[in-house]
Chains A and B, each alone.
Chain A
């Protein structure tokens, strides 16, 4: 007699919530899977009434979208939760933020009122700090990159080594100077706006391209932060790069 998965009374989903969270400081070294485990445990500790999947090995219903790579900090990561009881989003935000370690910070929680958040995450705004690289060197490399029509790079992805164009999805690439470090080393900053395409083009791909087209080799690994993701605004190529995308949760907020 083969054992069947127990049929349980799974309570129906009555509410969906969208979270924006940040990955900061030393916790930027967490991978997506690390975050998933931490979130699921925090949800259990806070007693959030999650909806579960059926089967022998039921999982809480959580969808993760477009997570920033390991080692990259972010101010704009998105997750969606399905619940079997209606919760106050603000209280959930406070409780979850408290339960997660410092550095994985829940910034806002809104109730889902519109479908398909993933489709609204059209592009990301990144800043890339390059300690040890002077601003001039960085801006001439950026200019060389922008002049290209294509910039092929290769990266090991889940489906093996892939070669793709890192130039086309780059909407903006600008450079500025950070205030020098305590020991006086220079530090250039790249402001980068990249459309989400498949395979995804990430800041490290753009850095790989800068190395190829302009021999830019940072002496110290770059520090990358995703500042925002969302729909590209009209005129995304002018003005403050941080305004190049709009708030993807705006539609859920009434």
Chain B
């Protein structure tokens, strides 16, 4: 029982982490909450499903829909954030928040118009679902792939940020756009690439969770939205390792509260625990910024 729950929590947490990493990356660079991240997550999941429906193998649909999510995220930046940025409306302001909500609502409406309001699953046999066993835990091949793909993408992201010139440029822009400009960094291009990466990560999370639960629906974005926000606050705003830690923690909390307490209190318990952690550590688990003073 414990082994099984642990495995379930890890599989769920991996997707939360993957979603949250893209979310926190945008916050870390621009100091804005991108409330359209969950719409990209949801829309890309539908795109993958549609591609598989047209006969594309799952892996190819995964890659194509991940790329779609990245591009949609760049469009989001150009439409919702860049015009405000050009007028000097920056982080902390409410304008970008509203424009990202608007973009998200438009995406949701378009997806509902094309695919309808109902939850749908993958065609039988489209996603490999053989059972695997480790210890006392049983899970499917797709569970394991979700974990491996999520971990790989998060490792690739942290290598990119640490060890490449693009990664250095992204961190420089995150710390001080003026200093970054004077170092010859094309700030707008760097922000665009950051959105591309963040969108692809959010898209991948949406596609994987859709395959894992074999359910793709218009509400999946809304369901993960607040959880993702909780995860990045818990991890420490802007902290990538914090988002990973927070994602796994939330996955485990949810699974264990269902298993040992009550399924009807799943969210209440998970959020209550996160609340308690934040009382002890207001800047989040790995947050460097102290609670803002001004």
B is bound to A: no
